[in-house]
Structure 1
Amino acid sequence: MLDIKWYEKLGMGSICEKVLEGQRLDMEDGERLFACPDVVAVGSLAHHVRTRLHGNAAYYVINQHINYSNICVNGCRFCAFHRKKGQKGAFQLTETDVLDKLKEREHDPITEVHIVGGCHPDLPLSYFETILREVKKFRPKAFIKAFTAVEIAHFAKNEGISTREVLLRLKSAGLDMLPGGGAEVFSPRVRTLLCPEKLSGEGWLNVSREAHRLGIKSNATMLYGHIETVRERLEHLVALRELQDETQGFVCFIPLSFQTANNQVQGVSGCTGVEDLKTMAVSRLMLDNVPHMKAYWVMLTVKLAQVALYFGADDFDGTIIEEKIGHMAGADSDQALTRGELEQIIREGGFEPVERNCFFERV
């Protein structure tokens, strides 16, 4: 049980009362939480909410990540993954290449195939439809979580059709869910400085809204720890919360700690572990209508992700197998974890490992 006297001494008694009563926090509450010098106090509030929602369960998934190309027209300043066409290090998988990657893991009990890539200038929508159909043919029981809202908008622009038509065609080809990437921070100021060519924050929300209305659920993310302010983080979280009130389409939120290597953002040293844990906790507290919070071990490291389970996170992601985006930006975590390793990490953290699919249905 939370000790309200402790929070009163910290000047956060009213926030503690709201959490205990299940009331919604406002922007000012969020600012006070970020300003609180006691990260354990903030974490305890988030852990109270996490336990109320999920008990002692910590979820994981047997999944496979496939990045089909890093060729991208956007050129985001913070991105170490993207390359221009013809540039050294650029790659593009053929439909056969994607199938070969699936075959490499054909004996693994994978329930989720995660597919994302850069906004390629030339690939037609039919390329992506073919990939979805081939994945479904090879793994008929697996769910496909593919293409961020940014990619969906890019496909529509390339094809000269609406994002709604893109979503309908991809759904018909086998798409089950959208991942949450590309949200970054919605602030127009930040996007003007770091990713001016990218889909706007409002555009990201609109594509997500459209997907939800078509019955396609999605995740949501926030890339933090670069040039954004605390207020801009909170505005991002509130925008997600408002859309979730409207659609109930977000399944999981993933705070992504900015990786500092191999990009054009200067003078940023990256987040400390304390900042990562506090951001996870505040996200859990502000996003009262999003059921799940992910500790993405690829960017947090396995050890900090394990601790994050006490700061509001209830999901440890999964086996991953081959992740390029975070690692090209300097993430020094492993490329993959086995089921046994995931369950051991979760148990050693004091939680019950629960295998899930992308919709958090128990496997």
Structure 2
Amino acid sequence: MTANQEIDSILQRGADGGRITPEEALLLYTDAPFHALGEAADAVRRRRHPDGIVTYLIDRNINYTNVCVTACKFCAFYRAPKHSEGWSHPMEEILHRCGEAVDLGATQVMLQGGHHPDYGVDYYETLFSSVKQAYPQLAIHSIGPSEILHMAKVSGVSIEEAVLRIKAAGLDSIAGAGAEMLPDRPRKAIAPLKESGARWLEVMAVAHRNGLSSTATMMMGTGETNAERIEHIRMIRDVQDLAVANGYTDSAVEAEGSVGGFRAFIPWTYQAENNHLKGRTQATTLEYLRFIAVSRLFFDNVSHLQASWLTTGKDVGQLALHLGVDDLGSIMLEENVISSAGARHRSNLHELIWMIRTAGRIPAQRDTLYRHLAVHTTPADDPTDDRVVSHFSSTAMPGGGAGRTELPLVDVS
């Protein structure tokens, strides 16, 4: 209970699973007392996930090229076509990195890269089918709507044809990449050459209709207003309403008794190094945590909420577990894009499990579709592989490098 009856009523309705409006979400974000807001969000988590489990994933982000024509102002990773520092990995190198990931227990790869001017649908068909043939046990959770629009344009085909072809080639799930900020004003300010937020969501709707579920993301801290942050999640929720109403599923999600569409929402904070924005992150820790809680209350139709310890830090990631979060994301064996912009947070498997357990939750390794692969009910159930560390091969982090024969433990202190 708070001193404001209107806020009390909204918090109670949201905690009970009722729908709150964008206007009400904005009021909670700006005015609700922090502890009351967090308590209501955690009530949603407990109702949705009464087993007390918080999940994690082992995966690898493999970038096939840094050549890109989009030139987003917040990106430190891309190089323009014909730039001397531009590169594209041969298929042999991509498969080598997939093999390293499998050896370390990864169940998923994220294949992501720039909008290369020569890469159409056929490139991605070859990429996905080659990975699937060599490592059928790996789920390919990759690319985003921006890449799909780009490949369709290069190949001169429709969005739907592009989606169907890359799904047939082996794509299992679409990442929330490229969302950044969906409302028009902030999106044009940071990525003027990219598609509109409405167009981004249109591609997601096409994917959902054709049996590919996905995640949704948001980048906070590039100068957007509080109202624009709420508008971002409103746009996503509307598209998810369509998926729920039409029963769009992929077969694996359906087997779990859940709707497809967006499986999870993942907000993260802008990293300010080595890019054209050159600004300090506008989203403070408190703003991020408040938004996490509001998102859990607002998304009555999205199952999972993930904290971004990579951009906010492990202490903030752990605190988010008390504000509605049920997933801590991945021990990313490789990550170059956000790290290139200044994200320096690293972890290892043992520490991630410790973060979950000391928050009073039960750690569990999951797969791409949030199915539990191993539940660590007690410390005796914990994995023992000391090699599973984040960023062991990142070119953007000190000490990184692909193809190591020995993978030393990271000093996570």
Please classify the TM superposition score into its range, dividing by the shorter chain length. Answer: over 0.9
| Alignment-derived partner of residue 183 in structure 1 | 179
Conservation of the 8 A alpha-carbon contact between 1:116 and 1:147: yes
Matched residue type, 1:359: L
1:249-272 superposed Cα distances (whole Å, 9 cap, x missing partner):
110110021111122225544322
- Asked whether 1:241 is paired with 2:237, we answer yes
Out of 331, 337, 345, which is 1:333 matched to? Answer: 345
| Alignment-derived partner of residue 102 in structure 1 | 98
Over aligned residue pairs, what C-alpha RMSD do you find? 1.6
TM-score, normalised on structure 2? 0.83
**CA separation in 2, counterparts of 1:268 and 1:328?**
15
Q: Which is further off, 186-195 or 103-112?
A: 103-112
Conservation of the 8 A alpha-carbon contact between 1:7 and 1:16: no
Conservation of the 8 A alpha-carbon contact between 2:220 and 2:282: no
- CA shift, 1:88, in A, is 4.6
| Alignment-derived partner of residue 33 in structure 1 | 28
- CA shift, 1:40, in A, is 2.4
Out of 133, 137, 150, which is 1:137 matched to? Answer: 133
1:57-77 superposed Cα distances (whole Å, 9 cap, x missing partner):
101112121111121111111
Unaligned 5+ runs, structure 2: 245-260, 374-413
Q: Name the structure, 1 or 2, with higher relative contact order (CA <8 Å, separation 6+).
A: 1
- Asked whether 1:170 is paired with 2:174, we answer no
Alignment of 1:1-363 (within 5 A): 6-9=1-4, 12-36=7-31, 38-55=33-50, 56-248=52-244, 249-334=261-346, 337-338=348-349, 340-363=350-373
Matched residue type, 1:313: V
**CA separation in 2, counterparts of 1:151 and 1:7?**
46
1:66-93 superposed Cα distances (whole Å, 9 cap, x missing partner):
1111211111111112211233543321
- CA shift, 1:34, in A, is 1.5
Conservation of the 8 A alpha-carbon contact between 1:259 and 1:270: no
Conservation of the 8 A alpha-carbon contact between 1:261 and 1:330: yes
Conservation of the 8 A alpha-carbon contact between 2:15 and 2:297: no
**CA separation in 1, counterparts of 2:224 and 2:263?**
25
TM-score, normalised on structure 1? 0.94
Task: Flag the 1:91–1:270 CA change in 2: closer, same or farther, 3 A.
Answer: farther
Conservation of the 8 A alpha-carbon contact between 1:67 and 1:115: yes
Task: Flag the 1:20–1:217 CA change in 2: closer, same or farther, 3 A.
Answer: closer
Conservation of the 8 A alpha-carbon contact between 1:63 and 1:113: yes
* Secondary structure in structure 2 of the residue aligned to 1:105: helix
Matched residue type, 2:341: A
Aligned residues: 356
Matched residue type, 2:29: F
